[in-house]
Amino acid sequence: MSDPLESIDWRGAPIDCSNCAHAALLASGGCKPLASCVQDRYAKRIERFFRNHPELAQVYMTHPYFEVRAIASKYLDVFHLARLRNDPDETVRSMVVLRLPQRQLLGMRNDPDREVRIRVAARLPPHELEPMMHDDDYYVRTVVAKRLPPGMLALMLHDPDNSVRVVVAERIAEDMLPAMAGDPDGTVRLAAIKRIAMQQLPAFRHDRDWRVRYEVAQRISTVHLSEMAHDEDAMVQEMALMRLMEVAMSEDKPGRRSNGKDQS
């Protein structure tokens, strides 16, 4: 890696201030080699230059070095900023997404770069996210699942990625949880079971994933605990037995009347 104390441009050539278009700024202290220079390859020096001279950002919208265009975009007005939505470099487009008004982001939902689309999904109003539910990238869809209104999440019930479906299970309307509790992936089922109503838990006490059965054992009505105390998994057994013991100790307290029926 080049020595950061060197003054070199984006092509690796030494910077010659005598041939710079901003030689007058150098004479007046408006820029300084190794500190504030738009020709330098180092982002911090470019940043300092535009911070001191934001009015020059428009001049560098088509500069061949992507770092210059990306940093210049932070200082452009919205009209000029919109022209960079189709910049050939994803770093520039990512910076543009952060500043453009939401209504101007709609055309960037299909950007070829996933990082750009992730930023778009994070900024668009939730009601504009539906087309992104089928994005090729799982993380873009994850961001969408985190931001969609819960009433629209049923459209992502069968997303091909289990990590996306987990987010759906964590946010979807309660009446859809039984469907998600039957998901083929245990982690998704667990996310659904954690939210499902207690009276619906008995249907899942024989789930093939011990984590799901353990969650069921923590909340299920005590009338089912004797059965779960014989579960094949030791941790599920332990949870069921612990709850049974708590019930027994509660019933044995002086002054408590017990009719032999479940008091849960």
91 lies in a domain?
no
65 lies in a domain?
no
Q: Which residues contact 124 (CB under 8 A, 6 or more apart)?
A: 102, 105, 106, 109, 132
What distances in angstroms separate CA 158 from CA 4, 154, 164, 204, one per listed residue? 50, 8, 9, 20
172 lies in a domain?
yes
pLDDT at 141 over 60: yes
User: What is the three-class DSSP state of 14?
Assistant: strand
Confidence of residue 243 (pLDDT cuts 50, 70, 90): very high
12 lies in a domain?
no
Instruction: Name the least confident of 62-71, 151-160, 252-261.
Output: 252-261
Confidence of residue 257 (pLDDT cuts 50, 70, 90): low
188 lies in a domain?
yes
75 lies in a domain?
no
Domain count, the chain: 2
pLDDT in tens, 5-16: 788 999 999 998
What pLDDT is stored for residue 4 in this prediction? Answer: 66
160 lies in a domain?
yes
pLDDT at 2 over 90: no
Residues 159 and 191 in one domain: yes
| Burial of 128 per CB tally in 10 Å (0-12, 13-18, 19+) | middle
pLDDT in tens, 21-77: 998 898 888 999 999 999 999 999 999 999 999 999 999 999 999 999 999 999 999
Confidence of residue 264 (pLDDT cuts 50, 70, 90): very low
pLDDT in tens, 179-197: 999 999 999 999 999 999 9
Would you give the end-to-end CA distance of the chain in angstroms? 68
What pLDDT is stored for residue 256 in this prediction? Answer: 57
Residues 211 and 176 in one domain: no
Structural domain span for residue 164: 150-196
Encode burial over 203-214: b for 16+ CB neighbours within 10 A, e otherwise: ebbebebbbbbb
211 lies in a domain?
yes
Q: Determine phi and psi for 8, rounding to 5 degrees.
A: -130, 155
| Mean of the per-residue pLDDT values of the chain | 93
How far apart (Å, rounded) are the C-alpha atoms in residues 58 and 264?
A: 70
What pLDDT is stored for residue 19 in this prediction? Answer: 86
pLDDT at 236 over 60: yes
What pLDDT is stored for residue 27 in this prediction? Answer: 86
Under 8 Å between Cβ of 137 and 115: no
Confidence of residue 251 (pLDDT cuts 50, 70, 90): confident
Q: What is the DSSP letter of 79?
A: H
Residues 156 and 188 in one domain: yes
What pLDDT is stored for residue 94 in this prediction? Answer: 97
pLDDT in tens, 100-134: 999 999 999 999 999 999 999 999 999 999 999 99
